[in-house]
Amino acid sequence: MKIAIATDHNGIKEKEEIINYFSENYEIIDKSPNNNPTDDYPYYAFLVAEYVRNNKDTLGVLLCGTGIGMSIAANKVKGIRCAHVSNLNEAKLARQHNSANIIALSYKNNINDIIDYIKVFITTDFSNEERHIRRIKMISEYEEGN
């Protein structure tokens, strides 16, 4: 599995720690290798979202001040289900119930918590329960204009 990751000018140190932690077991694609103080988060959210959409077996990780802006921007990309996550249960349910393919986090969380959220997110499988399949299909159909 691949993990595409990006941050804006916030979370650079945390992004590097995440890359160091996960690179032993996953291929990490850093979509924000050259951050600067004037970074605009939508740009990086779009880069990760488009990469995830176009590459099978890839999940995404986005960091910014709150994770909210990154989540909003990523969800504008067709086929993306980005979840803003702030605890372990949300990380699990984002994958299990919504088949989320990107997680958005606040870099202000404790780095150990951030790593735990990502671990749960990437190791949790979609439940394949009929009700969840039906709901994701509704979202996809709406996205398609149907």
The residues annotated as belonging to the active site are: 64, 97
Rounded distance, CA 11 to CA 136, Å? 31
Residue 38: helix, strand or coil by DSSP? coil
CA atoms within 13 A on the CB side of 104: 25
Tell me the residue ranges of DSSP E strands in the chain. 2-7, 27-30, 58-64, 82-84, 102-106
